[in-house]
Structure 1
């Protein structure tokens, strides 16, 4: 509901405005009533209204002065001055001071409602713009942070730092320590992408809360379902003083309160931005050894080096080749990458446990890919798909890689057969929803996104990419097309017609209709009658 503050020194007129319209049915709530401008400002501090209706002539502080104060408190508040004809010029001049509209006494219900609906559109547009800007900044930040740990870091370091500063992210430091957090058995615990995203968000939040204030710490979603943490240190002393206590606390917290375990791989320190990528690979290697040291704990790459003298694990570039081929649905290229991994394992013998970890890391790549594309793992790989149980039953490396080749090729086959892209399907579903619900005046991008359990920003981007238009513009097109069809086939009054296509205000509907077809409804009707005769 949009919060509305009313200020007028006449109680009868305040009561008149309160009961003139069924405000709730139009999405408004009267959050406060004031007798003077001073009271209006005081109420605004506690109520934070989005719209204020102010009488010009009030004791102690008039409407103009109150409007100025309210704008200082909240520059986004929409203000309409309620005034008599004698103060008309005064009210009109106030528009230049930031007041959005004025209403002349005495006014009819439709006149006040028109001003309020205009304000509603202004507020909704600002909220949509703010949400879009927030989404764009979030995804830009995630892309740049992921570029640090992948091949995406191709620019010079100083230019990269400038990109981060524009987004308000400080990454310049002398030393960096990377940690990769995995929710153990992530894709076995939850199959729905929404559930997976929710628990990753919860783990990242807890990690941020555990970190002491003042630490320079970046947390973001990384590849393969991991949560990535980068601690930035300004000096060797700060690096030496650092410990892994927060990671121990995170493991304990997840086990106690979330009822699952997390395993964390921690890198050696990198001394420049370009070293962060290698540091991330160190965390991945540490994680791939969790089956040899146990889950639900943190594993430092340095400790693994000290105890094992290094790792006989195949180059991480091969995992990247597997993922790249999978994303491009290239079955032959993927089989070749799997053969290279198998050949490397054969030529660099290691323990059975570590081989098991290598195989499961490849399974994780496949399942992450399916989840990212919102696929159904059990539908694609079979209702009896149980990777942990299956891998424990295999007796040879050949059998393991035969099984791996099967699940990867089945995944590729599924997404090849699926002719309609994800974005296309979302757009078609939303189009069908709009075609059914165009009469609902409360229909909005947020309502549609709630119905489909998607982020509103994702639906907006889908429409922009697939139809080169916005969801709001598409809704308008559907409503206007339906309005013209009604006018061609039925005899309706303007108010009835506008309500039938989702507009509560007939005047606003007329403006939209004329913008769409170049004729007002009355002009269109007149032209139609002339043609019919």
Structure 2
């Protein structure tokens, strides 16, 4: 609510009425919420009503304006006070100043002067409201983030959650959003979303929800999952919510399509994690109907439809033969046919992941039973650590990943290929070290090696133990440490020298890697030298 509530206090009712009726309070977005004729009555009304500002005379029976101001300062320090004083009341005014009262009007006050002062104070009150709301939202967001990323549900119990009086009847819901084909898009960038891109995504979603009156609190659950808690006074119509989200599905700045998953509504904040995860899990169903931008959960779990699927015997046979014969073309054809069948049946990608785990175990088991050499080498590719459903969230990207991993497994059982892959990675490391200070992409390195980006990703992680981006960031941060310790270059200059065009992103990566900001690191190193 933008209006500021004013209480007028004077022992003469005619003055109270005159002030209420003759001043155009609405011009200052001020509402006269009541009148009191002495300090005691004013205190009672302030306790009962939602008063922001008191305009009071000094000389009154029972409790004068000065005593009233003192009481209000003690018990309700957020309430602002303006004192009306006469020419002969300077001693009162001095005492008021000692109490911290800064706003005075000399009687008889001119209406423009009075309205100007009240308007100024009302603006200050509204600004403080916004700051207070932002502080509370930040505190709430921190608790929600902690809860969703591994905290306990007690963190958001109603007793610990700061709230406004109107929040008791509020409803909540989560909106999760994700970029379709996230792996391909991030491969283009070859680094996590920059702070500017992440803020742009968040702003677009928050703006759409704000227009519906749903107060949004957004944070990144995953580099490709923005999770937003909506606080609704009235339940938003699903059709209207779907329309608003669909309008921003094709994000003009990101240049990629967004899909949305919306949880059911809930009132108990202790259920926050349950409903938040329901929205996240619903994203897994995004590829069941690629043209549908917004999906709504039917209940608290919100899990996507799971089909009772089994590996087709002919698929199993075809892929096993491809392994034995080292036939990549046959392997890719079998995987494509398998994925096409699953897609046609409406399987979500998470089901593809489950079936691939099964397929992988079947292939490895039959390879061992057939006496294939180096079968154990193929088993060393840890699928669960590399397959990210929030990135490989379409059949196309998931299929490319599966093909690359199967090729790597196939190569592992062929004599001499482990050494060949190691040689490829060593060449890649030299190439990366020489060029880490420029805008370097994994796709550029894989093209130089004349292998596919997906295959490069698999063998790089297998041999180095981390992903391409993590490795490049490590090189850049190590170089940045040297510059910070040995030179007086500015931080933004160092960021550019080591390969970061986005200064804020450099600071974020540096702190995530070292635990301190670049400036803090330099100060620590300078302290050691001194």
Quickly name the TM-score band, shorter chain normalised.
0.3 to 0.5
For the pair shown, the structure with the greater C-alpha radius of gyration is 2
TM-score by length of 2: 0.40
The higher-RCO structure (CA 8 Å, 6+ apart) is: 2
TM-score by length of 1: 0.40
